[in-house]
């Protein structure tokens, strides 16, 4: 998915699910997943959305 779409989705999921979401970049585009489910290379993480951070 495009970066702008992934950023919007990541922020929205984080606030809705009240969990940390990571935005990652792969060879196929950008994806968002819960941080506790991501076990890939930390170099892939573009952004982390934490609903509890101010």
pLDDT at 48: 96
Domain range annotation of the chain:
3-49
End-to-end CA distance of the chain: 27
pLDDT at 16: 95
Each residue's pLDDT expressed in tens, for the chain with a length of 54 residues:
999 999 999 999 999 999 999 999 999 999 999 999 999 899 999 999 999 987
Buried/exposed code over 12-47 (b: 16+ C-beta within 10 A; e: otherwise): ebbeeeebbbbbbeeeeebbbeeeeebeeeeeeebb
Q: What is the pTM of this model?
A: 0.88
> Residue 45's beta-bridge partner residues?
24
């Amino acid at each position: 998915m495009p970066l702008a779409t992934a950023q919007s989705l990541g922020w929205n999921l984080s606030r809705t699910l009240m969990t940390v979401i990571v935005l990652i970049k792969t060879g196929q585009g950008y994806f968002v997943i819960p941080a506790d489910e991501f076990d890939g290379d930390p170099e892939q993480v573009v952004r982390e959305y934490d609903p509890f951070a101010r």
